[in-house]
A and B are shown apart, each in its own frame.
Chain A
Amino acid sequence: MKSIYLDYSATTPLAPEVLEAMQPYLTQHFGNASSIHGFGREAKVALDTAREKIAAALGAQPQEIAFTSGGTEASNMAILGVAQNFAEPRHLITSRVEHPCVLNPCRELEKRGWQVTYVEPDATGLITVNAIAEAIRPETALISIMHANNEVGTINQIAEMAALTATRKILFHTDAVQTFGKLPIAVRTLPVSMLSLSGHKLYGPKGVGALYVRRGVKLQPLFFGGHQERERRAGTENIAGIVGLGKAAELALANQVAEAERLRVLTENFWQRVQEIFPKAQMNGHPEFRLPAVLNISLPGFESTALLMGLDLQGIAVSNGSACSSGSVEISHVLRAMKLPKERAVSALRFSFGKYTTAAEVETTLQALTKILKKS
């Protein structure tokens, strides 16, 4: 049985070009970028080059990029790093539909006395600019709102939200793990203070990510150690991973518009066909402001775990609610925050397409889905 992977929002395979770019840095160019000798220089140059690539992808300056161990660390670094600038607890704004790597640092800050406003999304998972404007208080120090939601694909109007902070002394962070490389992002027109990104959502390796930190934004470090990453992130750099991230970003940008369109058409066709097979199907998320390759749908009358297993047993990998530690699933906090009726929430499945998804795979998936949906 040939497997079909339709869970690209969870993670992606490493692109062969990325692997090729990384390989020398796992073997012969193994140097420590802090070393003065030739081995060290080789690593340092690779580090600088990757930093330039990420900066270029964002329209940023290289010194505004700090490499991390991934999206989670980047978002923790942004939120906790800003908070630790303040001697007294302040106020921060986030939303109910953020990834746990944003929600949980916020909860941690609540324990330290911070006031946190969790803005509710609308029924499409969208956080409105208005809701953010209303939540701002004189003591607000930080706003963290995701660029696009990982579960339903809804894209937020980050530029407008970030603009609210321009005349105030408020920092704005966005988790762009789902959008970096997929949507055009230019920090010149997107006035965010910080932006998190990750390698493995973009055909790069796991264990590497970055935080864009606008010049002038001060962050306290999470780790204490060497002087790496301009003293923002101690620890010997993961050169191979960072090179992989740089290469992945470069590849994504080279073909960004055409690939987004190809995936949009593929996703749209799939959704049309699902509705033909099962007219009761409902799409979750925003009908317009959405990632091109993420489709979260509810199939009322079915239970998402059983649907997921039924597809998996036919070799097709999709996702339902967010995975929890035991491998079991519960209704996702995103669908709950969107206040979907229970029948709709428990029957939700997320299909996320990617670089290697073909029309033939989508066709096979439709057949497999039909087999399950027609049974009862």
Chain B
Amino acid sequence: MHLNSELIKQANLAPGAGETVVVAMSGGVDSSVAAALLHEHGYRVVGITLNLWDYHASGGNVNLESGCCSIDTMADARAVCHKLGVPHYVSDFREIFERSVQQNFIDEYFVGRTPNPCVRCNTFIKWGALLQQTQDIGGNFMATGHYGRTRFNSSTKRWELRRAVDGQKDQSYALWGVRQEALARTIFPLGELTKPEVREIARGLDLKTAEKKESQEICFIPDNDYRRYLRERAPEAAAEIGAGDFVDVEGNRLGAHQGFPFYTIGQRKGLGLALGRPIFISAINPDDNTIVVGDDENLRHSDFIVSSVNWGAQYCPADGAAVSCKIRYRDAGAPAILLGAEPHSVRVHFDAPQRAITPGQSAVFYDGDVVVGGGVIDRVITSNGF
């Protein structure tokens, strides 16, 4: 076992004095290195792998068994902890995951929105149930392998979530829901490191997870086919909605679709419409089961309402506060101003219209590297005021 001392210095972790830190361990390389770094820095590490959903009741003997929550991943996390000489547990959070993440995922599609389950999982499972468990077992902090950073701002007296140094890997977008009191108990050991550096540390430690590939996008849909998942999980609701019409922006019928839950804003492929030019879904109307398609320009809007807001570095910023707003995970962010901020909602106005502002997705507001706040896109305000 060899630790690259330069890289470890670069992680810039505050040295611990035996504080107990629960590390959420997925069995991947990131959380493995997070645990190793904390261990190295003098914390008392306790690894916990979350059991969130069933591969099968018995967990394993099905075809897809390498993703998270499989027996293999738990064994990987256990092996890493064993190597570090720290305890490892598996926590069964299947019930709350089903309620707060999977059911919400289904419900959102069935009201014509595009959900963001990773955000829900972070907010309600990791910084909810697991943080509670951390406190229940006498833990001082909780850590994860997320790429993000935290800092206490002594003048505002607020905890700040910040982007990670590795811009490619930054996960602050999915962490906006972590509340102030939870951030105060959070350590992100990887925030100052790049992914290649993390892998190098893992190799140096001879961790068996060092070369593991990145995890898939939605863990509980291993085949990445959310339409199949929705049909299987909610067959009656899907049948009841049935087929509907594609319409253009003037309301003219262009063809049939399979039901509004199976489409997302901005979607171009799989529409089954041949109009001789690229067309996109620009709106989903659950009320009459119609889907509006149009040109790229119909997709672009400037104003939208964000709900379920969690304010971060600033609480209810003043009207006109300038931010960079990200409306999807893979998105550089665009200049915007915040208007009418309230404890749980805010209006956002982009300086220039942005493509595919999608209800259900998260909007996260940045001031430089610092997350000002975030929330769920509730509705787009179109140019005629609605």
Residue numbers of A with Cβ under 8 A of B are 302-303, 305-306, 309-310, 312-313, 324-330, 371-372, 375-376
Rounded to whole angstroms, the CA-CA distance of A326 and B78 in the bound complex is: 11
Nearest-Cβ distance from residue B49 to partner chain A, whole angstroms: 8
Q: Does B89 contact A (CB under 8 A)?
A: yes
Cβ A305 vs Cβ B91 within 8 A: yes
Question: Which of A309, A324, A330 has a CB less than 8 Å from the CB of B46?
Answer: A309
Assembled-state Cα–Cα distance A327/B91 (Å): 9
B74 touches A305 (CB 8 A): no
Q: Residue of B at shortest CB range from A371?
A: B138
In the complex, chain A residues whose CB is within 8 Å of the CB of B3: none
Kindly supply a per-residue 1/0 record for chain B positions 113-145, scoring 1 wherever the CB is within 8 Å of any chain A CB and 0 otherwise.
000000000000000000001001110000000
> Can you give 26 contacting A-B residue pairs, CB < 8 Å?
A303-B133, A303-B136, A305-B92, A305-B133, A306-B133, A306-B136, A309-B46, A309-B87, A309-B89, A309-B133, A310-B136, A310-B138, A312-B87, A312-B89, A313-B137, A313-B138, A325-B60, A325-B71, A326-B74, A327-B78, A327-B89, A328-B91, A329-B92, A371-B138, A375-B138, A376-B136
B interface secondary structure, majority: mixed
Q: A310 near B137 (CB under 8 angstroms)? A: yes
Q: How far is the CA of A325 from the CA of B92 in the complex (A)?
A: 12
For residue A318, give the distance in angstroms from its CB to the closest CB of chain B. 13
Contacts of B78 in A (CB 8 A): 327
Q: Are B90 and A327 in contact (CB under 8 A)?
A: yes
Contact A326 B71 (CB under 8 A): yes
B71: chain A residues within 8 A (beta carbon): 325-326
Residues of B within 8 A of A376 (CB): 136
In the bound complex, residues from chain A placing their C-beta under 8 Å from that of B92 are 305, 328-330
Supply 12 further A-B pairs (C-beta < 8 A) apart from A305-B89, A305-B91, A372-B138.
A302-B136, A306-B133, A306-B136, A310-B138, A313-B137, A325-B59, A327-B74, A327-B89, A328-B91, A330-B92, A375-B138, A376-B136
Least Cβ distance of A330 to chain B in Å?
6
Q: Are A326 and B91 in contact (CB-based, < 8 A)?
A: no
Inter-subunit contact B137/A328 (CB<8 Å) = no
In the assembled complex, B51 has its CB within 8 A of some CB on chain A:
yes
B58 at the interface (CB under 8 A from A): yes
B65 to chain A, nearest CB (A): 12
Counting chain B CB atoms within 10 Å of each CB, which of A313, A327, A329, A375 scores highest? A327
B46: A residues at CB distance < 8 A: 309, 313
A190 shortest CB reach to chain B, Å: 35
8 Å CB contact of B51 from A306, A313, A328? A328
CB distance from A88 to the nearest CB of B (A): 30
Interface positions of B from 199 to 246, Cβ below 8 Å from A: none
Q: Which of B69, B74, B87, B137 contacts A306 (CB 8 A)?
A: B137
Most buried by B among A302, A328, A329, A376: A328
Please name the residue on chain B nearest to A312 by beta carbon.
B87
Residues in B149-191 with C-beta less than 8 Å from chain A: none
Report B294-340 residues with CB < 8 Å from chain A CB. Answer: none
Q: Are B137 and A309 in contact (CB under 8 A)?
A: yes
**Complex Cα gap A324–B137 (Å):** 21
**Are B90 and A326 within 8 A (Cβ)?**
yes
**How long is the Cα–Cα vector from A187 to B104 in the complex, in angstroms?**
58
Q: Which residues of A contact B51 (CB under 8 A)?
A: 326, 328
Cα-based distance from A305 to B90 in the complex (angstroms): 9
Residues on A with beta carbons closer than 8 Å to the beta carbon of B89: 305, 309, 312, 327
Q: In the complex, what distance in Å separates the CA atom of A312 from the CA atom of B90?
A: 13
Which residue in chain A gives the minimum CB-CB distance to B88? A327
Known: A310-B138, A313-B138. A328 touches B90 (CB 8 A): yes
4 shortest interchain CB distances as A-B pairs? A306-B136, A328-B90, A328-B51, A328-B92
- B54 closest partner in A (C-beta): A326
Chain B contacts of A310 at CB under 8 A? Answer: 136-138
A305 to B46, CA, bound (A): 14
Q: Which residues of A contact B90 (CB under 8 A)?
A: 326-328
Interface residues of B in 75-113 (CB under 8 A from A): 78, 87, 89-92, 94
A306 to B51, CA, bound (A): 15
A131 to B92, CA, bound (A): 34
Name B48's closest neighbour in chain A (CB-CB). Answer: A309
Query: Which residues of A lie under 8 Å from residue B60 when comparing CB positions?
Result: 325
CB pair A326 B137 closer than 8 Å: no
Question: Complex Cα distance A324/B133, Å?
Answer: 20
Contact residues in A for B138 (Cβ distance below 8 Å): 310, 313, 371-372, 375
Q: How far is the CB of A299 from chain B (nearest CB, A)?
A: 12
What is the minimal beta-carbon distance from A311 to any residue of chain B, in angstroms? Answer: 9
Which residue of chain B lies nearest to A329 when distances are taken between CB atoms in the complex?
B92
CA distance A366 to B377 in the complex (A): 51
**Most chain A beta-carbon contacts within 10 A, residue among B69, B90, B136:** B136
Query: Distance (Å) between the CB of B194 and the closest chain A CB?
Result: 32
